[in-house]
Structure 1
Amino acid sequence: MTTIKTSHAASTTNGKHMRSHSLKSLPEVQAVVITDKKKQSTYATGDTQNVLTTAKITSTWKQACDRTRDRTKQLLRRTMSWKSNTNSIPQPEVQITEDEECVNSALEVYIRATWVKRCSGKTNEKKTDYLVELSSIQEEKFIHFFKYYLDGDCDGFVFEHDFHQLFEKLRRFADWSPQCHEYIISKQVLEELVRVFFPCKEGQNVAFISLSMDDWLKTWQHYLNGCSTISNLPLWLKYLMNILFKSLDSGNGVIKRENLQRFYCTFLDSNCEESKEPMIDNVYKFLTSNGDFLLDYEVWSLCFANWLLGTKPNGSGQWLFGRCGLTSDFFPIDYSAMNSTKEMRDTYSLKRRSHRYSVIV
């Protein structure tokens, strides 16, 4: 009885309830509690990391869906660099089950496959390697220029000095000085023309290379392949179009009929058909749509593009460098049915065949 009272008195000293022996005071229990806290903190860190990784992948995927195909490659590079940076950062080891690993790998492969498919959908376009043949009217226009502007001796071959003579004649026609800005550009265009039409190997002299009619047409076929508008033309052709316009410009940005007539007399012949009054009027009507438009630079560029790319006759630029190709006449109109009487007219009937050759509409 005395022992029990003593222990009770010790436990209730100063009016406070105190335990003399707590479980945490034991060293074995303290070690177990510390280990549990470490595991809980490790699991909490791993869960936070997984949540951040999932959020990052989700936001990246939403951005990729909102972007167009042009930004897909950039997004792919950014995502791959982000993965490489995250892999270099030391992270606590997290135990991942086999099911979670399979899900993550499947999601990663799916995202990569989708991006690669979207990228390849634009780049893997079919391109035609074959050359489109020139039409008959295109060949006739190029042959006309070859004969009357380059082949002065009419032997069927053109050399480098023939191109130099053509541009020298153009300089004298436009009255350009050797220091003139237009003449300097024309010399650069001449060098490009020689390089295009006289391809020579290393150590070969371009002065001894000849250009036949077939090579002339094949070169045009190669450079005009795939061109449908003025913007598709090579740069040297655009400059050639500009130089020709400036040589014919009367000073106010418009080519007059007199300048065009003088151009034909200089390059073709003084007694050529294009320089005569009836023909020069028809040529100028072709270029200006019967006088509805001024022959300014915009109309001239359209006519020049039609001379190069026009595959059908009766185009605005068909006679740009002289008359070539036949023009199709309009179909004749029969007015005999309008001037006939009712007795002469043959009434239409489904039961019998008619012998009429004109119809009144």
Structure 2
Amino acid sequence: MSASLGPKLSFSTYRVQDIDYSALKKKLTAFQIEKLTFFFTKFFDVKGHGVLEKKSFAELNEKLRSIAGWEVDSDEFKRLVDNSNVFWECLLDQVRVEHSQFCEGLELRTWEEALKPKKLQIDTVDLNGWLNMWAKLFDGAAGMDDFPIWVQLLPNILFDVQGGNKNGYIKKESLHEFYANFSKAQDSDLDKLTEAGYNTMTSNGEYQLDLNNYKLLFANFLLGRTIYGPGKFVFGCFDNSDLQKPYQIIYEE
């Protein structure tokens, strides 16, 4: 199997000069930064606006509805919209908290300025804020239960989109359709990627991709610090070279 089944990801449309990667790498590995950047640019920012805003979630909802094959007035789609609205509002609240904690120059304000009522106007999230938010959320987290409730919505949403709630588990053909929309692999490469991803995430069919197992995989997608973990197959678009070469010990500085 080719190590290039997970396509090379390009984030060239995003302003990397606004991101302090040297500071981020004290908290996140390069692979975590790659995954979280993909999550922002290729999953949430469907139309490539460069920031997340309210309309980004309407666009994402429509894409996920199309993948799932739901009708606009279906209960499944209404549940998706409700969950994404909750996620968006909580995401904004989290970014506002992070912003208020790290505002520069607060110690120079007069008492009059400090006591003056102010409403923090943040209605978009950029990649820098996104990465720093996750770095903070990862601190001390070992699984999905360690994240806020709004973060725990994410694996439930993806599980539902892939037919998990309907069937009780994600079928291989549903994973194939999901990969077709996010990995960008095609034809025989897509078939091979689906086979590799499904076998890895189910231990060669020993386990079903039910919600409990999917949550464990999604936690590994977020928290996994190297390519050696099944969570990278949640989207199927990352380095899969470990499938054909011996395990390597990675020493972190």
TM over 0.5: yes
Shift of residue 303, structure 1, vs aligned partner: 0.7
Task: String of CA shifts for 1:48-106, please: whole Å, max 9, x gaps.
Answer: xxxxxxxxxxxxxxxxxxxxxxxxxxxxxxxxxxxxxxxxxxxxxxxxxxxxxxxxxxx
238 and 205 in structure 1: CA distance in 2 versus 1, 3 angstrom threshold: closer
- AA aligned opposite 2:152: K
Task: Flag the structure with more relative contact order, 1 or 2, with Cα contacts below 8 A and sequence separation at least 6.
Answer: 2
244 and 307 in structure 1: CA distance in 2 versus 1, 3 angstrom threshold: same
Shift of residue 219, structure 1, vs aligned partner: 1.4
225 and 178 in structure 1: CA distance in 2 versus 1, 3 angstrom threshold: farther
Q: Distance in 1 between matches of 2:30 and 2:91?
A: 21
Q: Does 1:193 align with 2:110?
A: no
Structure 2 spans left out of the alignment, 5+ residues: 1-25, 97-117, 249-253
Q: Counterpart in 2 of 1:310?
A: 224
Query: Does the 8 Å contact 1:145/1:321 carry over to 2?
Result: no
Q: Counterpart in 1 of 2:170?
A: 255
Which of the numbers 34, 40, 55 marks the counterpart of 1:140? 34
Computing the radius of gyration from Cα coordinates, the structure with the larger value is 1
Query: Does the 8 Å contact 2:183/2:237 carry over to 1?
Result: no
Query: Does the 8 Å contact 2:143/2:216 carry over to 1?
Result: no
Q: Distance in 1 between matches of 2:38 and 2:177?
A: 19
Number of aligned positions between the proteins: 198
267 and 327 in structure 1: CA distance in 2 versus 1, 3 angstrom threshold: closer
- AA aligned opposite 1:161: K
Query: Does the 8 Å contact 1:224/1:309 carry over to 2?
Result: yes
Q: Counterpart in 2 of 1:173?
A: 67
Q: Distance in 1 between matches of 2:41 and 2:189?
A: 18
Q: Counterpart in 1 of 2:102?
A: none
Shift of residue 228, structure 1, vs aligned partner: 1.0
- AA aligned opposite 1:237: V
Q: Distance in 2 between matches of 1:234 and 1:184?
A: 22
TM-score (norm 1): 0.48
- AA aligned opposite 1:202: K
Which of the numbers 316, 330, 333 marks the counterpart of 2:246? 330
TM-score (norm 2): 0.66
Query: Does the 8 Å contact 1:173/1:247 carry over to 2?
Result: yes
Query: Does the 8 Å contact 2:179/2:190 carry over to 1?
Result: no
326 and 175 in structure 1: CA distance in 2 versus 1, 3 angstrom threshold: closer
3-state SS of 2:232 partner: coil
Q: Distance in 1 between matches of 2:27 and 2:60?
A: 27
Shift of residue 281, structure 1, vs aligned partner: 1.1
Shift of residue 282, structure 1, vs aligned partner: 1.2
Structure 1 spans left out of the alignment, 5+ residues: 1-131, 333-361
133 and 274 in structure 1: CA distance in 2 versus 1, 3 angstrom threshold: farther
Q: Does 1:279 align with 2:204?
A: no
Give the root-mean-square deviation of aligned CA atoms. 3.1
Q: Counterpart in 1 of 2:119?
A: 202
331 and 230 in structure 1: CA distance in 2 versus 1, 3 angstrom threshold: closer
Query: Does the 8 Å contact 1:274/1:322 carry over to 2?
Result: no
